[in-house]
Amino acid sequence: MTETEQHSVVYQHHQSARSPRLAVALALWAAGLVALLVLLSPAIWIILLFGLPLLPGLWELWRNPTALLELDAQRLSWRNATSAADIPLEQISHIRLDKRWDFSHRTTVHTRLGKRLCIPPDCQPPHRPFEQALAQAGLRVERHHFRIY
């Protein structure tokens, strides 16, 4: 087996903060502020107060942090703006996929040494194709729905 075959990517998920969804949401919020200003003529401090939620979105749009998750024949790795991890598959005991009460998904990697590593939310891939890729890689997957622990 060649080096490229050995490290061929089984599953890859790449996500960028600069998305059309974010741009549309910011544009709609700003349009709402302009409409509020034109139609109701409120005090400027009210417009500024309601404009504050735009700032984090504009910062993300300008900075554009990326997140990446890769699964290949040898390892599971992820990286984002604040953290990175690279775990060999033989060190993984199982992977737990949780559906939370707010319908979001959380993925926790359990190692054979008893360590738990949570995959950051911005690195989370769509859960169904990821679960299939994990099974294809020979990893044990536990799925839990709406559990409190």
Over residues 18-77, the pLDDT tens digits come to: 999 999 999 999 999 999 999 999 999 999 999 999 999 999 999 999 999 999 999 999
Q: Place 139 in a pLDDT band, splitting at 50, 70 and 90.
A: very high
Average pLDDT on 110-117 reads 96
Tell me which residue of 75, 32, 80, 37 sits closest to 53, measured CA to CA.
32
99 and 77 in a common domain: yes
Distances (CA, A) of 52 to 8, 41, 56, 61: 45, 18, 8, 15
Pair 71, 141 in one domain: yes
51 and 78 share one domain: no
The torsion defined by the Cα of 137, 142, 144 and 149, in degrees rounded to 10, comes to -120
The helix/strand/coil state of 87 is strand
Q: Are residues 100 and 45 in the same domain?
A: no
Residues 115 and 71 in one domain: yes
Domain of residue 38: give its range. Answer: 18-63
* Residues 27 and 49 occupy one common structural domain: yes
Q: What DSSP state is assigned to residue 63?
A: H
Residues 41 and 95 in one domain: no
Number of structural domains found in the chain: 2
Q: Which of the pair, 39 or 10, is modelled with greater confidence? A: 39
pTM > 0.85: no
Same domain, 80 and 52: no
